[in-house]
Structure 1
Amino acid sequence: MRLSTIQKDRALGAIIASAAGDALGAPYEFQAPLPTDADVVLRPGGPWELGEWTDDTAMAVPILRALAEGRRLDEEATLDALVAEWAGWRRGAKDVGVQIGRVLGTIRSLTAADARRAARILHEQTGRSAGNGTLMRTAPVALAFLDEQPGTEDRLAAAARAISDLTHFDPEAGDACVLWSLAIRHAILTGELDLRGQLARIPADRRDVWAGRIDDAERRMPWDFPKNGWVVQALQAAWSAIVHADTLEQRLVLAVRCGNDTDTVAAIAGALAGAVHGVTALPFRWRRHLHGWAGEGRVGTHLDLQQWAVLAMGRGRADAKGWPSAARFPVGVDQTLLRHPLDEGVWLGDLAALDHLPAGVDAVVSLCRVGTEQVRVPASEHHLVWIVDQDGANADVDGVLTDAADAVATFREEGCTVLVHCFEARSRTSAVAAAYAVRHLGAAPSGALEAVSGALPNYGPERFLVDAVRRLTPAGGAR
């Protein structure tokens, strides 16, 4: 199945919004619920750095990377590899859930079979093993099953349960992963939230119980489920946050307000809410600092998550032009590079401009595909905007333009000199340069467009982008 650009946007959202929820909730973990007038902000806290993801995303990364490498989740060898990666991560991790730590700490052969055995023994010893540690990592599973061939949903349900079973013997943990993974797939493909519609793929004798739990979550607020270390209440708190808010940002904040296992509930909520809203609905201020354990002794960033997610959707294969894993993309013959007509601290250019950055440029806003080695600034100073230069191909063109313009303003407020570029400095660069002038430089839309048109030799924004610029309003902090 060929995914639309909007569906790809939503698939990226499932991954990156989950990591953002994780990092957003990390400094609030194991605290009382937050009152509605208390700010929820991305910040460091406890052992976690600013934007650092925790065990929730760390355990999802090997699943995502396996898909990015073209491996199948219904093969035992892939499950063996997941167990081995998790065991290696556990040895140096800042934090590991009690149940997962006990399971991974007792296996000897680092195989899926040994992990399932350890999970069963722990359940028999304690009588309980339905922690939330499987639901927190299930977001990538859906990306392997986005086709519409007969039986795809059944194969997704089986894969979600099999990965859950590696560390959690209790079938309720598997049920939760099946429901959430299927709902993520449905959201990516349709843009709709539908948790109840997935009940048919859990055992018949447990469907009514889960239906009642979903009903309960919709009647109550996230903080009404204080035992959210239990997979059932973690799902209920996440679903409550989703149904009681409207935007992706609001849903993640409401999830963090639940208290106790805040990072996990927000990661769970982010996976499904991100699959509805898409990555373009995730504010740059949350996305830019994302980082954490990525396997193989390295730290990953939001750009890595995006690359792996795109490869996962392609079943491990880059497209004909090498996206997203090519080191470089070819540039045009001519080069455009000039200052923004209303702010000398902003440069406007094309893809070739990346090879000729003026001295002092220390932040980049990319509006087209770039190679992994083509942008030479840190990931936190690089905003790779998911915007398509085609009418109807963007989930929320107004929101994307606003976020890109605000990213430029954020960099400028931090003292950075910024390059804004697309492939040929024609349409997208023109639109974002004008959007920045409207929102942050006090220009009227017509004046902003006129100023940019007089500066850019290839000026030619698509009509839908011009219309979006004309709809913009100044930001509250316009200067």
Structure 2
Amino acid sequence: MIDLHASDAAIAEYVFARYRHLSPAASPGLGGRMAGDESGRGSVGDRGDVQSWLATPPDMLSPEDADDRAQGALLGLAIGDAVGTTLEFQPRGVRHVDDMVGGGPFRLEAGQWTDDTSMALCLADALLADHGYQPRTFARLLVRWYREGYNASNGRCFDIGNATRTAIEGHEAEDGRWQGNASDHTAGNESLVRVAPVAIAARGALDVTWRLSGGQSRATHAALEAISACQLLGMLLHHALRGAPRAVVLSPRIATLSPRVQIINAGEYQHKTRDQIRSSGYVIDTLEAALWAVWHGETFEEAVLLAANLGDDADSVAAVAGQLAGAIHGRRGIPERWVERVTLGRRIVQRATQLSALELGRVAERPGR
């Protein structure tokens, strides 16, 4: 295994030597599609050149079970956020949590969540408003959150990262035409934490999930690693939302990913000890830590508590772990005490159901198939 903080050159050489079989052949059509329309409303003809690695897997769920997993993903995000905030910015091992207790650096009440869930709900509202993803709508809702506390658990914007703040102020000045910073040093995790809404809305089409996962990142975080991490998480969520079990969801996949994200995709985190896992706000650390927690947690509760107790950026790591564990275990797999305690839980469930009904990019089955 290689340290994910090794130099770019060392990482690239390592991936080429070990994991080039996970990188698909390039497709001109695919590249054009990734750079083009991000709404998710394209017709079947628009997606005729979808590569095999972006082919939508079979749907193994009944409508009721599909809705349960969608609710689990969005609730899981908020619940992970609310559990993890207690240990946010705390060094690992200083304190341990085994429930949703609140407190933390922002002195939140039990069940209240941070900016991670606020941004996810803004993204959900944007998708529902336009029946697809329009960057300017999302940007305007982020500005409302920043200025008015829209979709905040306590009525005010707090815990906002520097890259997100800069992007939102840019959107405000340019009426949503701004794009997040593409510099490598801005590859934070604040777009990764909010992937679940697009995965739910586009559960009928993997290529749309892939495109929107990266597209929503660009609103605040346009660094390649941030976009790539969001795309991998979107892919994993997609498989979970279509009924794949945990071991299948977390298996290596053929995908076009940045080198460090490709190493995570390959599953090296599964063989690491807790002491080898970092839980910082760097998107690579957050993604690896969250997947490590989901891999080792047999239940939703175990996964979220493993993630939260890593400390450091605990709320974000637990929010990422929570959305994936929620998509795997479903709403029925989340402890009822947490569902009842999480702030705006009913609204979150309603948003998940509404997002699932959007079916962005879904290809209807042809008669006789």
Q: TM range, normalised to the smaller chain?
A: 0.7 to 0.9
The residue type equivalent to 1:200 in the other structure is I
SS at match of 1:180: helix
Structure 2 equivalent of residue 141 of structure 1: 198
Residue number in structure 1 paired with 2:145 = 89
Deviation digits for residues 345-376 of structure 1, max 9, x if unmatched?
xxxxxxxxxxxxxxxxxxxxxxxxxxxxxxxx
**Cross-structure match for 1:173:** 226
**Shift, 1:223, TM fit:** 5.2
Name 1:191's counterpart in structure 2: 244
Aligned counterparts of 2:135 and 2:218: Cα–Cα separation in 1: 10
Is the CA contact 2:261–2:284 (under 8 Å) kept in the aligned structure 1? no
What does residue 80 of structure 1 align with?
136
Tell me whether 1:281 sits opposite 2:345 in the alignment. Answer: no
Q: Give yes or no for contact 1:176–1:232 (8 Å, CA) kept in 2.
A: yes
- Partner Cα separation in structure 1 for residue 331 and residue 68 of structure 2: 6
> Once the 2 structures are TM-superposed, how far is the Cα of residue 67 of structure 1 from its aligned partner?
3.3
- 2-side partners of 1:13 and 1:212: how far apart? 24
Q: Give the 5 Å matches for 1:12-51.
A: 12-34=71-93, 38-45=96-103, 46-47=105-106, 48-51=108-111
1:275 deviates by 0.4
Q: Which of 181, 190, 207 does residue 154 from structure 1 map onto?
A: 207
Q: 1:19 deviation in Å?
A: 0.5
Q: CA deviation at 1:271?
A: 0.7
Distance 1:39 1:95, change over 3 A: closer
Larger Rg: 1
**Residue 341 of structure 1 aligns with which residue?**
none
Contact 2:300 2:329 in 1 (8 A): yes
Mapped pair 1:313 → 2:366: no
Q: Structure 2 CA distance, aligned partners of 1:101 and 1:270?
A: 24
> How far, CA to CA, are the matches of 2:244 and 2:261 in structure 1?
27
Greater Cα shift, 10-19 or 212-221? 212-221
User: Are the equivalent residues in 1 in contact too, given 2:83–2:102 (CA < 8 A)?
Assistant: no
Q: Structure 1 vs Structure 2: percent identity of aligned residues?
A: 28
Do the aligned partners of 2:74 and 2:348 also contact (CA within 8 Å) in 1? yes
Residue in structure 2 matched with residue 264 of structure 1 by the alignment: 316
- 1:166 and 1:273 map into 2 onto residues whose CA distance is 26
Distance, in Å, in 2 between the alignment partners of 1:171 and 1:14 is 25
Partner of 2:27: none
Instruction: List alignment gaps of at least 5 residues for structure 2.
Output: 1-58, 148-155, 360-369
- Tell me by how many angstroms 1:288 deviates: 1.3
| 1:308-457 pair list within 5 angstroms | 308-315=351-358
- In 2, Cα distance between the equivalents of 1:263 and 1:208? 22
Give the 5 Å matches for 1:166-245.
166-193=219-246, 194=248, 199-203=253-257, 206=258, 210-211=262-263, 214-222=266-274, 224-226=276-278, 228-245=280-297
Q: Which has the higher contact order (CA 8 A, sep 6+)?
A: 2
For residues 310 and 198 of structure 1, what CA distance do their matches in structure 2 show? Answer: 29
Report what 1:130 is aligned to: 187
Kindly indicate which of the two structures has a greater share of residues assigned to strand. 1
- TM-score normalised by structure 2 residue count: 0.72
For these two proteins, the number of residue pairs brought into alignment is: 290
Query: Aligned-pair distance for 1:219?
Result: 1.5
| Equivalent AA in structure 2 for residue 42 of structure 1 | M
Residue in 1 that maps onto 2:120: 60
State the one-letter code of the partner of 2:165.
G
What secondary structure sits across from 2:177 in the alignment? helix
Shift in alpha-carbon separation, 1:178–1:133, aligned structure 2, 3 A: same
Aligned-pair distance for 1:87?
Answer: 1.6
Once superposed, what is the RMSD of the aligned Cα atoms? 2.5
Distance 1:235 1:286, change over 3 A: same
Verify: 1:119 aligned to 2:181, yes or no.
yes
Relative distance call for 1:197 and 1:111 in structure 2 (3 A) is farther
Return closer, same or farther for 1:209/1:144 CA change in 2, 3 Å cut-off: closer
State the 1:163 CA deviation. 0.6
Partner residue in 1 for 2:307: 255
Structure 1 residues without counterparts, runs of 5 or longer: 292-300, 317-479
Shift of 1:3: 4.8
Between Structure 1 and Structure 2, the one with more helix by share is 2
- The answer as to whether partners of 2:228 and 2:261 remain within 8 angstroms in 1 is no
Quote the residue 1:374 is aligned against.
Answer: none
Post-superposition Cα deviations, 1:298-332, rounded to whole Å, max 9, x if no partner, equal: xxx1000111111111129xxxxxxxxxxxxxxxx
